[in-house]
Amino acid sequence: MLKNILCPVHREGWLYVGLFALAAFIGFKFHMHLGWIFLILTAWCAYFFRDPQRVTPIRAGLIISPADGLIQSISKVAPPEELHLPPTPLTRVSVFMNVFDVHINRAPIDATVKQVEYVPGKFFNASLDKASKYNERQIFLMTMPDGRDLIVVQIAGLVARRILRWVRTGDALRCGERMGMIRFGSRVDVYLPDGVMPMVIEGQRVYAGESVIADLQSAEPARTGKRS
């Protein structure tokens, strides 16, 4: 647990950490309570932008979670219309990240980025289903080694105001490689290839770069579970 908390801060966060630290310094000059408030916000900001090392399973065919958070929903929906793909429903696994989760997003499998589409939009709560259609989002169409496609969508949330991507069309990604982040609360959707069953259930916690969410080589039916 300490390794997940006391870990490097990603370079995207240092500006915010510095601004909060400066505000804390100024706050202590005027009022002790104000200084403590900004000092706590400084610590939280460093915690939010943490970038822990992850150990990624590397067996061929494993699809790994691209985000930390809870499996919010698993549903059959058509792929994003911006990709102009056939409207055949695919299994969509949605991972919801709250403001305390690591927000670095990682490639779910070895793949080449075939297409990237940025869609401006609104900022509804990312836990709502309509966020997939109306919120600001970044869509990645990736081609896997076996020729099949995988879709990953970064979705801005109620608090999130910027989606960052660190890969471009044509980039060859390794499973677990950092591909972007979303600032301050959001969601990531993964559209599995047709016929691939998820190996997670709604309400389950997953970790980017480590948790297996599907297996291209598995013939298992979709999993079920219950809270205990």
- pLDDT score for 37: 87
- pLDDT score for 4: 56
Residue 166 vs residues 42, 105, 177, 199: alpha-carbon distances, Å? 25, 10, 10, 28
What residues does 214 pair with on adjacent strands? 63, 198
Task: Tell me the two tokens of residue 61.
Answer: 């065919």
Which pTM does this prediction carry? 0.84
CATH 2.70.70 fits 62-215, yes or no: yes
Q: How far apart are CA 126 and CA 148, in angstroms?
A: 28
- pLDDT score for 228: 66
Q: How far apart are CA 48 and CA 65, in angstroms?
A: 19
The amino acid at residue 30 is F
Mean pLDDT split into 10-residue runs, the chain, 228 residues: 62 78 85 84 80 90 96 94 93 91 93 94 64 82 95 81 86 95 84 94 94 91 76
In the residue annotation, 65 being an active-site residue is answered as no
Rounded to 5 degrees, φ, ψ at 21 are: -65, -40
Question: Any idea where the domains of the chain sit in the sequence?
Answer: 2-48, 62-215
- pLDDT score for 2: 46
**Residue 213 in contact with residue 191, Cβ under 8 Å?**
no
Angle 157-159-162 from CA coordinates, rounded to 5°: 75
- pLDDT score for 113: 97
- pLDDT score for 138: 93
Q: How far apart are CA 47 and CA 142, in angstroms?
A: 31
User: One of 94, 186, 211, 218 is an active-site residue; which one?
Assistant: 186
